[in-house]
Amino acid sequence: MSLWFRQILGRGVLFACAVSALALWSTPGRAVPLSFVLTGNDNASWVLDSNPVPTGSIAGTSFWFAGVGPAPFLIFWSDAVFPPGGFTASDDSFASSGNVLDLTGPALYTGPEDAPVFLTGIFALLGNPGSVSEGHIDTLTISATPLPAAWVLFLTALAGLVGWRRSRMSLV
């Protein structure tokens, strides 16, 4: 390797590029995990994939997951039902009995119910009138959870910049 090449790139940048390429090559492509945090009158948290595969769905109405969240079934409602949007945590997939939470608000996803894509942000939710959550005021925060590979790439790039800067300083 020529002295000119080492002076321009530095050993740190070469190392960072090699580790980044290895991390990209070995990391499978997948959806980003999303963190759901409910605060206010009710408190709960859970993690779902950004492009999840629901346990079941009803076109134009809702979809649900079994074994995720604060109850055995977590049901997300479209904005086409009354009251629109929000979600229900229930003991059954039809939310007909044993509801733990019944909150209404904006739709929390886009796309069809059999292939939903969750939105990220902060959503104001209210307890559904006549439900166990009547009068509750809650906030649901949906945010992306960084994957470990993303942190590896970031820290490797940072190490490469530091190494490059140190090699430039040693040449002067």
- For 50-107, write each residue's pLDDT tens digit: 778 999 998 888 999 998 888 889 999 988 776 678 999 988 777 766 788 999 999 8
Q: How far apart are CA 97 and CA 94, in angstroms?
A: 8
Is residue 1 situated within a structural domain?
A: no
Percentage, residues of the chain above pLDDT 70? 71
Q: Check whether residue 87 and residue 155 sit in a common domain.
A: no
Task: Return the number of other C-beta atoms located less than 10 Å from residue 136's C-beta.
Answer: 17
Of 169 and 5, more confident: 169
- Alpha carbon 14 to its chain centroid, in Å, reads 33
Q: Check whether residue 118 and residue 155 sit in a common domain.
A: no
Q: Check whether residue 94 and residue 163 sit in a common domain.
A: no
Is residue 5 situated within a structural domain?
A: no
| pLDDT beyond 50 at 28 | no
* Number of independent structural domains in the chain: 2
Three-state DSSP state, 137: strand
Q: Check whether residue 80 and residue 162 sit in a common domain.
A: no
Q: Check whether residue 41 and residue 123 sit in a common domain.
A: yes
Is residue 153 situated within a structural domain?
A: yes
Cβ burial 71-97 (10 Å sphere, 16+ → b, else e): bbbbbbbbeeeeeebbbbbbeebebee
Q: Check whether residue 122 and residue 161 sit in a common domain.
A: no
**Domain limits at 165?**
10-27+147-171
